[in-house]
Amino acid sequence: MKKIALKKYTDFIVKETTDLLNIDSPTGYTEEAAAWVKKEFEKLGFKATLTTKGGVVVDFGGKNKKDGLLLEAHVDTLGGMVATIKSNGRLQLTNLGGMNPNNAETENVRVVTKFDGIYEGTFQLNNASIHVNGDYNDTKREWDTCEVVLDEDVKSKEDTEKLGISVGDIVCFEPNVRVTKSGYIKSRFLDDKLSVGILLGLGKYIKDNKITPKRALYAHITVFEEVGHGGCGSVPEGCTEAISVDMGCVGEGLTCTEKQVSICAKDSGGPYSYEIVKGLVAAAKESGADYAVDIYPHYGSDVEATLRSGNDLKHGLIGAGVYASHGYERSHRDGAESTLRLLIAYAL
Mean pLDDT of 8-32: 98
Please state, in angstroms and as integers, the Cα–Cα distance from residue 238 to each residue in 61, 114, 243, 312, 348, following that order: 13, 40, 15, 10, 17
Q: In the chain, what are the domains?
A: 7-77+189-347 (3.40.630.10), 79-173 (2.40.30.40)
Q: Sorting pLDDT into bands at 50, 70 and 90, what band is 3?
A: confident
* Structural contact between residues 88 and 117, judged by C-beta atoms closer than 8 angstroms: no
Average pLDDT over the chain reads 97
Is the pLDDT confidence value at 188 over 90?
Answer: yes
Q: Give mean pLDDT, residues 28-56.
A: 98
Please state the rounded mean pLDDT for residues 196-210.
98
Of the chain, the percentage scoring pLDDT greater than 90 comes to 99
Average pLDDT over residues 309-333: 97
**Cα–Cα distance between 95 and 240 in angstroms, integer?**
35
82-127: per-residue pLDDT in tens?
Answer: 999 999 999 999 999 999 999 999 999 999 999 999 999 999 999 9
Show which residues are catalytic. 225
Average pLDDT over residues 251-273: 97
Asked if pLDDT for residue 130 goes beyond 80, the answer is yes
Sign of CA dihedral 282, 285, 290, 292: positive
> pLDDT grade, residue 1 (50/70/90)?
low
The stretch 14-20 carries a mean pLDDT of 98
Q: Per residue in 43-84, pLDDT tens?
A: 999 999 999 999 999 999 999 999 999 999 999 999 999 999
- Looking at residues 183-207, what average pLDDT do you find? 98
